[in-house]
Structure formats: C-alpha cells, structure tokens
C-alpha cells in the first residue's frame, strides 16, 4: 500500500521521500536516541509537508517499529499541524480500531490534521506477492491521497 501511495503521489507531481521502516533496524524506544542514522530519518520525516502513515496491524495495534519511530520523530512539545493519511493492512475488521488509535494519537498528541478516515485493507484486499490491490481499496486510497495533495497545496 505504501509503495502504491508513493507511486500515485509521484505521478501527481508530489516530491516523495519514502521511509520504509521495514528496511531499517531501530532499537526499541528510547535506546536508538543517539543513533545518527535515526536522526537522519527523523529529520527527513519532519521536513515533509504531509505524511502518509502506512502500517500493518498486529494484535489490534500498529507495528511496534512504527510506534517507536513516531516516539522519536514526534518528540517535541510543539504542535506540528501537518496533514496526514493513515493506510493499514489487517487481518480482520476489528483492526480498524488500531488504525483509528494511530489517527487519534496524531491528532491529540501533536495536533496533526487527519485527511479522510483511515484506509484499512482487510485480509486479501492487498496481495504483496502479486503486487495487487483490490479496486475498492485502491479507490479509497486515491481519494484520500488526492485530498491530502489538495489540503497541502502541492
């Protein structure tokens, strides 16, 4: 989902900086605090005009890596007022709660601005091996991403 979102945004002329946490080894918060590579990722994240937060849902929660990274990246008392979209892949419909939890944390903790409801792909809506996304999920993603672009003025 995140790769499709990056391609979609790039095709609309948006400059995209994809930070795929699956390819980075971060120690659990706060043990990577002084890691120069982590500082670079945090700087890139915070330099963005808006965010697309894409995460798998495990046991009714977002990925631990995503949660830890956000602890590092959003460790400030200052509100950020940046727009964001949440994309999530999950095993069942109860996992919407975890996607909503992430969105509410962003809204209430750092005053970020949510664009549209979280887009949650359940079970076989996204098949990574064949790189396919269900038409309904793709449409919901494109609507959310189009609105994100409009909100940020890019």
Measure Cα distances from 58 to 36, 50, 76, 83, 124 in Å.
29, 25, 27, 25, 16
pTM above 0.95, yes or no: no
pLDDT, residue 83, reads 96
CATH number at residue 89: 3.40.50.360
How many domains would you assign to the chain? 1
pLDDT-based confidence at residue 154 (cuts at 50, 70, 90): low
pLDDT, residue 123, reads 82
What does the pLDDT look like over 91-127, one tens digit per residue? Answer: 887 788 999 999 999 999 889 999 999 999 988 787 7
pLDDT, residue 77, reads 73
Q: In terms of residue numbers, what domain contains 147?
A: 2-152
What does the pLDDT look like over 35-50, one tens digit per residue? Answer: 888 889 999 999 999 9
């Amino acid at each position: 989902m995140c790769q499709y979102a990056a391609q979609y945004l790039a095709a609309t002329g948006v400059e995209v900086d994809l930070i795929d946490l699956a390819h980075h080894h971060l120690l659990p918060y706060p043990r990577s605090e002084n890691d120069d590579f982590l500082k670079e990722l945090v700087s890139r994240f915070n330099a963005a005009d808006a965010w697309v937060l894409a995460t798998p849902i495990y046991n009714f929660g977002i990925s631990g890596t995503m949660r830890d990274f956000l602890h590092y990246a959003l460790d400030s008392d200052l509100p950020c007022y940046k727009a964001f979209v949440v994309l999530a892949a999950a095993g069942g419909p109860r996992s919407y709660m975890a996607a909503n939890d992430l969105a509410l944390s962003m809204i209430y903790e750092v005053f970020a601005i949510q664009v549209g409801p979280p887009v949650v792909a359940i079970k076989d809506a996204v098949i990574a091996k064949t790189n396919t996304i269900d038409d309904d999920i793709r449409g919901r993603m494109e609507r959310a991403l189009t609105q994100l672009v409009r909100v940020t003025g890019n």
